[in-house]
Structure 1
Amino acid sequence: MKKIPLRVIFVSIIALALLVVTVFMARRLIVNHSFVSAFDKGDYQVEAEKSLLTMNFPESYVPYYNLGNAAYKLADYNSAISYYTKALEMHPSESKDCDIRVNLALSLCDTIDFYHLDSQDKIDTALFILYKARDVLIENGCAAEAEGEQGHDPEAQQLKEDIDKMIEKLKNPDQNSSGNQQNNNDQSQDSDGGSSGSSGPSDREKKIQGELEGKKKDAMEDRKDQQGSLEKYSDFIGGDQEGGPGGDLDGGDGDGEGGGSGKQVNPW
């Protein structure tokens, strides 16, 4: 009986291994491409994308990034935070790192209900979250910490500056409403001056009520502005990538393409 040469066995093993790798990579590309195509149509097929978490290589951040984008679009911000955090642990490239950080910061901010910050505890919690989102953007230099400086990602820098404004409004609400409150006081004084010269209890009650209503209105306007600052970003989660839908997952060029969302389109 003639023996099979070792060289033939060796070549056969290599060929079989290459076939397995090819099938594995082809499946990842197909699943990812299908996810991105459905995502662009508003259909978030997360189950198929979750299957890529098993034997998750190369570009291990991609499935977590995609799942984070889907969770964000579904308003499941806590899950989005978890997925984006995991994506950052997979060591994405510098440009993708900043994209993920922008999305993570947005997810953190969107857990805040700006319309119902009606107690100091809620305001303190909101400030804690905003500072955390700010730190996410500053880490690795995506946004610059010092005012007047620029980080290496414009979207991260703009979001960080918007978060700084939100923090300032929450920390100093009286300064934001001082102008309108002064107008209310002036109007009250004019009204008092136009009376018969006496200021009875009813006049004082009306003045106090007017000031309270003015503060409440100013607070609601501030909350609306803060919520609007975040909403302008939401449509840019899941934008097209530079490499197009379902880009390289084989790690050939090492630039991290292949996620369901990539570089955010500049919304400003």
Structure 2
Amino acid sequence: MDFKKIPVKIYGLLALFLALAIASGILFGRILVNHSFVVSYAKGNYQPAKEEGLLTLNVPESYLPYYNLGNVAFEKEDYNSAIGYYTRALSLYPVGQKECDIRINLALSMCYSIDFDNLTTQDSLDSAQVILYKARDILLTNKWATENGAGHRDDDAQQLKEDIDRMLEQLQNPNGDDSQNDPNQDEEDKDDGENSDDSDKSNNQTEKEKRQKDKLDRNKKDALEERRQDQDFLDKYGSQGDGEDAAGIGEKGGSYKPW
């Protein structure tokens, strides 16, 4: 066979075929690596090194490894790292429900990053409110949640937004009138007013502040832990999906779970 007579276009086709074969091999390798990560994650064995390897030549669905690494950081209670990973994932244009999943996890990470037990100064209170407002805005983007609940696109995003609203209300009015919500508080305040002198007022104020702090902490825990404990939420976000995602990169999960 005379190779000199082979048309140039044949060489071009061979080069294209070789490039496609290499690309297919890389994609298949990514699928295997991600699947191994998902299986290990489901067993509670977090292996971020596997997913970090996918950050190189990170196509298609370039947000995927950042989302999964965010989940690992969240499970390890490294909320600042989780925030970084989820923020990076959002910057890479996830689509549809995947965008919502990332936004929910990012907002949750921001909420958990607040040390509610040590909001002892006005600066710390202000910082906490700034974080909560940012988390709230993340959920409101693209109407995954809405201000009044009308027309929201995702029930879990809307519920989390309302939980954040309650936390903000407590932070903004820590010494407000709780008589409608706490009958015992009302009786204690009444007794304080009937049996006080200058010294007693100081002691009563200290006790009242302590009660308010305890209530704030309870509300915070209720608002956040409800997201984990609510069975409907866990049914949607706490269990593995039933197959590979649209691009075949990995198994579809949800909040706290990898794709």
Give the TM-score of the pair, scaled to structure 2: 0.84
Cα distance change on mapping 1:2 and 1:39 into 2, 3 Å: same
Amino acid in structure 2 at the alignment position of 1:92: P
Instruction: Note if contact 1:78-1:107 (Cα within 8 Å) is conserved in structure 2.
Output: yes
Counterpart of 2:74 in structure 1 is 72
1:208 deviates by 4.4
Supply the distance in 2 between the matched residues of 1:259 and 1:138 (Cα, whole angstroms).
27
Instruction: Note if contact 2:105-2:256 (Cα within 8 Å) is conserved in structure 1.
Output: no
Instruction: Note if contact 1:77-1:110 (Cα within 8 Å) is conserved in structure 2.
Output: yes
Give the TM-score of the pair, scaled to structure 1: 0.81
- Secondary structure at the aligned position of 1:174 is classed as coil
Counterpart of 1:162 in structure 2 is 163
Unaligned runs of 5+ in 2: none
- The more displaced of 76-85 and 8-17 is 8-17
- Secondary structure at the aligned position of 1:175 is classed as coil
Instruction: Note if contact 1:241-1:263 (Cα within 8 Å) is conserved in structure 2.
Output: no
Counterpart of 1:239 in structure 2 is 238
Counterpart of 1:223 in structure 2 is 217
Residue 182 of structure 1 pairs with residue 186 of structure 2 = yes
Supply the distance in 2 between the matched residues of 1:77 and 1:260 (Cα, whole angstroms).
22
1:61 deviates by 1.0
Picking from 24, 36, 50, the partner of 1:48 is: 50
Supply the distance in 2 between the matched residues of 1:173 and 1:140 (Cα, whole angstroms).
32
1:67-125 CA distance string (max 9 Å, x none): 11111111111111111111111111121111110001011111101111111111100
Supply the distance in 2 between the matched residues of 1:176 and 1:109 (Cα, whole angstroms).
25
Flag the structure with more relative contact order, 1 or 2, with Cα contacts below 8 A and sequence separation at least 6.
1
Counterpart of 1:214 in structure 2 is 208
Unaligned runs of 5+ in 1: 193-198, 251-256
Written as runs of structure 1 = structure 2, the 5 A alignment for 1:112-127 is 112-127=114-129
Supply the distance in 2 between the matched residues of 1:176 and 1:31 (Cα, whole angstroms).
56
Residue 262 of structure 1 pairs with residue 257 of structure 2 = no
Counterpart of 1:38 in structure 2 is 40
1:35-54 CA distance string (max 9 Å, x none): 11111111111111011111
> Aligned pairs, how many?
247
Amino acid in structure 2 at the alignment position of 1:186: K
- The more displaced of 105-114 and 222-231 is 222-231
Cα distance change on mapping 1:176 and 1:126 into 2, 3 Å: farther
Instruction: Note if contact 1:184-1:211 (Cα within 8 Å) is conserved in structure 2.
Output: no
Counterpart of 1:2 in structure 2 is 2
CA RMSD of aligned residues (A): 2.8
Instruction: Note if contact 1:114-1:227 (Cα within 8 Å) is conserved in structure 2.
Output: no
Instruction: Note if contact 1:69-1:261 (Cα within 8 Å) is conserved in structure 2.
Output: no
- The more displaced of 170-179 and 87-96 is 170-179
Cα distance change on mapping 1:44 and 1:135 into 2, 3 Å: same
1:64 deviates by 0.8
Instruction: Note if contact 1:68-1:84 (Cα within 8 Å) is conserved in structure 2.
Output: yes
- Secondary structure at the aligned position of 1:173 is classed as coil
Supply the distance in 1 between the matched residues of 2:187 and 2:117 (Cα, whole angstroms).
24
Amino acid in structure 1 at the alignment position of 2:19: A
Supply the distance in 2 between the matched residues of 1:240 and 1:249 (Cα, whole angstroms).
20
1:65 deviates by 0.7
Picking from 59, 62, 68, the partner of 2:61 is: 59
User: How many percent identity over aligned positions?
Assistant: 42
